[in-house]
Amino acid sequence: MGSTKVKVEICNPKMPEKWKEVELLADTGAMYSVVQSGTLKKLDGKVHYIV
């Protein structure tokens, strides 16, 4: 069994001009996406939980 990475563009919905392309590990069974807190802060996004 292997892993699959995907390139996605994430943005701040309140400021769509602030966006970034990131590479994420695809998990077909996941209900939520996980993005590094530093990336969200650069987009002025809200960090809900830090691991």
User: 16-34: per-residue pLDDT in tens?
Assistant: 898 999 999 888 888 888 8
Q: What is the mean pLDDT of the chain?
A: 84
* CA pair distance 41, 45, nearest whole angstrom: 5
Q: Return the domain boundaries, the chain.
A: 5-42
pLDDT for position 9: 92
Structure confidence at residue 20 (pLDDT):
92
Which long-range contacts link 14-21 to residues 24+ away (Cβ below 8 Å)?
14/44, 15/43, 15/44, 18/42, 18/43, 18/44, 19/43
Q: Please measure the distance between the N-terminal and C-terminal CA atoms of the chain and give it in whole angstroms.
A: 26
Q: What pLDDT is stored for residue 46 in this prediction?
A: 74
pLDDT over 80 at 2, yes or no: no
pTM recorded for the entire structure: 0.64
